[in-house]
Amino acid sequence: MLKIKSSAPAIPAQDIKRARGFYEQKLGLKAAEEEPDGGARYQTGETAFLVFLSTGKASGDHTQMALEVEDVPSAVTELKSKGVKLEEYDYPEFKSRDGLVDMPDGTKGAWFKDTEGNLIALTQRVPARTRSN
């Protein structure tokens, strides 16, 4: 069995300076560590993620990272005020209104893309149900 200490998403960036500008200016993050090639690790609560220089291009077709926040609607308002464009969805079971999606469990979610095309989700934790014996 692997003895894993932690895990973290690695987010590719073709233009590391542009990507770092997005995460630092739009999301208000500070680099906890910087790589020699300009990449950066960002600490987010108890976890972290890496933005790294890559020649690969993000597909943007699936969520590559989820950021847990206390209040998705407030976070959406803040992101919009900083010029972040939220994704809109219109599927039979999954529709957004002004970037917000009502999730089946009653919470809200939202998605946006960074400057490199990486799809990022905003979520808020739903308390787990306890089992009755």
* Neighbouring C-beta atoms of residue 130, cutoff 10 Å: 6
Domains contained in the chain, number: 1
- Residue 119: give the domain boundaries: 10-123
Using the predicted structure, report yes or no on whether residue 104 has a pLDDT greater than 80. no
Does some domain include residue 32?
yes
Give pLDDT, residue 57.
Answer: 84
| pLDDT tier at 130, thresholds 50, 70, 90 | low
Entry pTM? 0.88
CATH of the domain at 115: 3.10.180.10
Cβ-based neighbours of 113, under 8 Å, separated by 6 or more: 60, 85, 87, 119, 120
Using an 8 Å Cβ cutoff, are 27 and 43 in contact? no
Residue 35 lies in a domain: yes
CA distance 19 to 87: 18
Q: What is the mean pLDDT of residues 111-117?
A: 96
Answer for the pair 30, 85: CB distance below 8 angstroms, yes or no.
no
- Identify whether 70 is part of a domain: yes
Mean pLDDT of 69-86: 95
| Predicted local distance difference test score (pLDDT) of residue 115 | 96
**Is residue 129 a part of any domain in this protein?**
no
According to the model, what pLDDT value does residue 91 have? Answer: 84
Pairing of strands 90-91, 94-97: antiparallel
